[in-house]
Structure 1
């Protein structure tokens, strides 16, 4: 049988682990970031649309040198990220300071890398089928239920096939 001292150490370790898990689980919301709003003549580098007309869909990349590109939705942001050399010659992923999307429910600017994206819902963006950004997994689950979404994705799960499916109107 273990000594009372050993049992106490084990219990304290278990408490620390449980507290750590709780704190990690509690931090499942994308961080809010500050990005200047697009000007009236800001144009999406991917599709050419004026983005200020759709403030609830605006996405942006801010480079370390302060230069900002705005997008009419997360879908075009991801297209830009996948082929940055074509859209922003001389810039690469290492030059990025901020990658931001607008939260669907809170209409606040979020760090895209921590956001959740729902595809296949009945909510369309300015360019049709869209990646709908949400701040938390809980919000994404709620959105899925309310808007018949098909999948919830993280930033790293959005690939070329997802983007092609959205453009074809058949997100899976």
Structure 2
């Protein structure tokens, strides 16, 4: 019975898992950095129309998500329903995770290819452990991240 339960859990986790797909020529949308050079930082937004937008870091993804009017020309985002899914790469496991359920370490000594950034984790405990080792200032949920914080990380404030 236990083997059946474990097998079922494994099968379900494979069905529910998602992987951000990119190739050697792909670059992040905002900063135009080659994604394959920084795989532990890749983020993705899937739009309701099926288009996928790749980013070289969570900061770039949030920059687009929180202020899509800046990028209206190509994607025509006008409302929250235009976004379908948001993904980030868990910094500890390198697995793709749902950005809306992730925990982000702010203010650590770990720098992304885009500079100061938010380091994503699937669990609060992993974020807390990382924060202690890398001098993180705060652990934030998705909802706590503001456009003002992203501007601050970009040095625009």
CA distance in 2, matches of 1:81, 1:98: 11
CA distance in 2, matches of 1:140, 1:157: 15
- Call closer, same or farther: CA 1:56–1:38 in 2, change over 3 Å: same
Map of 2:104 onto structure 1: 117
- Of 122, 126, 129 in structure 2, the residue corresponding to residue 135 of structure 1 is 122
CA distance in 2, matches of 1:128, 1:44: 14
- Call closer, same or farther: CA 1:33–1:159 in 2, change over 3 Å: farther
Helix, strand or coil: the match of 2:25? coil
Length-normalised TM-score, structure 1: 0.74
- Call closer, same or farther: CA 1:36–1:147 in 2, change over 3 Å: closer
Query: Structure 1, residues 94-153: CA drift from partner, whole Å, max 9, x if none?
Result: 122210000010110000000000011111111111100011111111011111100111
Length-normalised TM-score, structure 2: 0.80
- Call closer, same or farther: CA 1:102–1:169 in 2, change over 3 Å: farther
CA distance in 1, matches of 2:27, 2:152: 24
Query: Structure 1, residues 42-89: CA drift from partner, whole Å, max 9, x if none?
Result: 222212222222111000011233211000110000000022233243
Does 1:83 pair with 2:67? yes
Helix, strand or coil: the match of 1:140? helix
Q: Please identify the structure whose Cα radius of gyration is greater.
A: 1
Structural RMSD (CA): 2.0
